[in-house]
Structure formats: C-alpha cells, structure tokens
Amino acid sequence: MSNSSANKPIVAIIGGGPAGMSCALWLKQLGLSPYIIERNAALGGQLLNIDRINRWVLGLPWLTSVELAGRYGKHIGEEHIPIHYNTELKAIETTEQGYGLVLQKMAERNETLMQVQALVIATGVRVLGREVFSLTPGFDALVAAGLVGCFPIDHLARIESLRGRTVAVIGGGDNAHFTVKDVASAATRTYLLMRSSPKAQNSIRNEVAALVDQGRVVEYQGTEVDAFRQTQTGIEISLKQSGSIAARINVDMVFTRIGFSPNSKFLETLGILATIDKQSAGYVLTDASQRTSLASVYAIGDVACPSLQSVVTAIAGGAVAARAIADDLNTGGNV
C-alpha cells in the first residue's frame, strides 16, 4: 500500500455524525483519502443533542451521547482527516475519475471544487414536528410562547415544571408513549393524541394502557389536531375525527412525537443524485454493502436505515461501506 496521499483515491463523506466519522476512519486505515463535508460547525450529528447516558454502546456504559460525540471527533482529529465545516454540496457532475463536486460554505459565495472517486451519504434524519404542525392554525404562536416541545427527550428537563399541570402528547409510536409515561409521573392529566392506532412496542404500550386504566392518561385514537389556540389559562386543542370537530381539550403544554424524516431531500436538487433509488419515506436504498443504485455512491447510518437507528449500527455501516469502497476501487487494503 502506498503512503503517498497524492495517489490515494479521494472519498467525500457528506455528514459528520457517527456513521460518517466511522466511514472516514475506516477509509483512512484502508489506504484511501477521506474528506468529511459537514453542514454544521462541529462533528457529532444527532449525538450533540442528547445529553444523557447512552446505554447501548458496548464497553462505554457511563458516557453520554454528547461525550461520545466528543471522543469520536477527537479521534478523527488525531487521524488528521480533513473536514469541511459549515459546508454543503451544491452541485455534482460525472467525470472520468468519478464525480466532480462543487462545495459551498454556508452564508458565503466561495465555492470549492473537489474531484472524488466515491461519495458517501451519511446525513442522518431530522425530527419531525415543527415543519408538519406549522401548517396547523395556532401552532407557531405556541412555539413562540415556549409552550411546545418537538425533540423526543425535551420533556425530561421540564418534568418538575409539569407537576400538577395538564399536558398533551401527540403521536402514537415509542417516543410518544415514553414521553407520556414520563410526563404522567408529574402531570395531573396527560392526553395521548393519536392520528390512528398505537404503534409502540408492547412493553411501553402496556405501561401506558395501565395509566389509562388508572385515569392518569386519557387517549384519543383516530383523531387529528384541527387547531391550537392560546387562551388566558393555557392552550385549547380542537380535535377532529372524520372531518368534523370531535372534542376540545385544554392543556398547559404540548409535546409532539411524530417521528423522523431522512435527510435525503437535498439529493433531489443535485442532478444525477436525484436518480438514486429510495425505500419508503425517502430513506436511501442500499445493498448489504451500503452501495446505492448509483455507481460509486454509498449511503450509511440513519439516512439508509429506518429499521434500527443507533450509534453502533451507524458506526458499523460506516465500516461496511469503507470496505466496499476499497473493494470497488480496487485499492487493496486489509483490516
């Protein structure tokens, strides 16, 4: 294997979360030249938003996700892997050697051109909530008043302030149910508002069902929010069923827990990348080696994996893709 970086195939990785960082590390060890393109000012991705112990990473049971992000970023720094911070991919063209990329620093006009042999999409998912409910009357006013939380764990810091209050949680999956369970430990009454039927795993669903039986939680199924209205005493939520108003409830605080969406929409404006096959809901479709339907383009981590979104699967996906890239570019390199 040559040590000359001039001869090493260049691989651009879009996204500096755990998946992108892991892929970069493995590519470097396999003798390639990785570049991370990150639209934020720091590496870490979703982990930077989760300041609580991560119990799911083997051998590191005492670290928070924020601390994990710090360790991963430090490792990438020690490996001298180049990173373009605050940068997005603006355009792409197919070239003889692979792809020509046009990168742009956010809020700047300067463009950087980069010739790469392969491209990895590692852009993760975003929390749905604000972008969906901002179409519902009254929602933006609640956000401005600080009466809504849209991030899956943002109720935890507020539990004490919810003591004796009435709270609505919107959503029917695991996050909605976990939020209801936490909130109900303090609130006088918690409403669980579901557009269809419950989608949570059995164990947490059963715990919430027990709270319903005890009268601590009131749930509505098959009900959509028609409007939010801030009143002098709190928030009025109008609920509709089959097109007509079915109920009005009054609460002090609202938490939305309606799921995630893959950060893959940006591909639609990027010429050839728009042709990449997707699975349902816009997740990027890959084979078992993280190859997409487009030659020399790979996808890893949450953006390609709706079924299991976690640090360790993101890290594993990065390694698998790096191995496939080394094989596809015929660069040799062994683990």
Ligand X SMILES: Cc1cc2nc3c(=O)[nH]c(=O)nc-3n(C[C@H](O)[C@H](O)[C@H](O)COP(=O)(O)OP(=O)(O)OC[C@H]3O[C@@H](n4cnc5c(N)ncnc54)[C@H](O)[C@@H]3O)c2cc1C
Instruction: Please tell me the distance from the alpha carbon of residue 12 to that of residue 297, in angstroms, as a whole number.
Output: 10
Instruction: Please tell me the distance from the alpha carbon of residue 210 to that of residue 265, in angstroms, as a whole number.
Output: 40
Residue 139 · residue 119 · CB < 8 Å: no
173 binds ligand X (CB under 6 A): no
- Residue 255 Cβ, how far from ligand X at the closest point, in Å? 12
C-beta closer to ligand X: residue 163 or 265: 265
**Phi and psi at residue 67, to the nearest 5°:** -65, -40
Residue type at 224 in one-letter notation: E
Helix H or strand E encompassing 125: strand 125-127
Pick the binder of ligand X from 56, 79, 112, 196 (CB under 6 A). Answer: 56
Query: How many residues sit close enough to ligand X to count as binding (CB under 6 A)?
Result: 31
149 binds ligand X (CB under 6 A): no
Distances (CA, A) of 158 to 173, 186, 189, 269: 21, 10, 15, 40
Pick the binder of ligand X from 14, 83, 170, 211 (CB under 6 A). Answer: 14
Tokens standing for 90?
């603006």
Looking at the DSSP bridge assignments, the partners of residue 193 are: 170, 220
Closest-CA residue to 156 (of 124, 181, 131): 181
Residue type at 88 in one-letter notation: E
C-beta closer to ligand X: residue 81 or 122: 122
Pick the binder of ligand X from 29, 104, 293, 310 (CB under 6 A). Answer: 310
Give the interface segment with ligand X, choosing from 10-18, 166-174, 201-209, 290-298 (CB under 6 A). Answer: 10-18
Rounded to the nearest 10 degrees, the angle between the axes of helix 65-78 and helix 18-29 is 30
C-beta closer to ligand X: residue 119 or 235: 119
C-beta closer to ligand X: residue 235 or 303: 303
- Residue 301 Cβ, how far from ligand X at the closest point, in Å? 2
259 binds ligand X (CB under 6 A): no
320 binds ligand X (CB under 6 A): no
- Residue 149 Cβ, how far from ligand X at the closest point, in Å? 12
Residue 142 · residue 136 · CB < 8 Å: no
Burial class of 61 by CB neighbour count within 10 A (0 to 12, 13 to 18, 19+)? exposed
267 binds ligand X (CB under 6 A): no
- Residue 192 Cβ, how far from ligand X at the closest point, in Å? 19
- Residue 56 Cβ, how far from ligand X at the closest point, in Å? 4
15 binds ligand X (CB under 6 A): yes
Interface residues with ligand X (CB under 6 A) are 14-20, 37-40, 45-47, 50, 54, 56, 88, 122-124, 152-153, 263, 266, 301-302, 309-311, 314
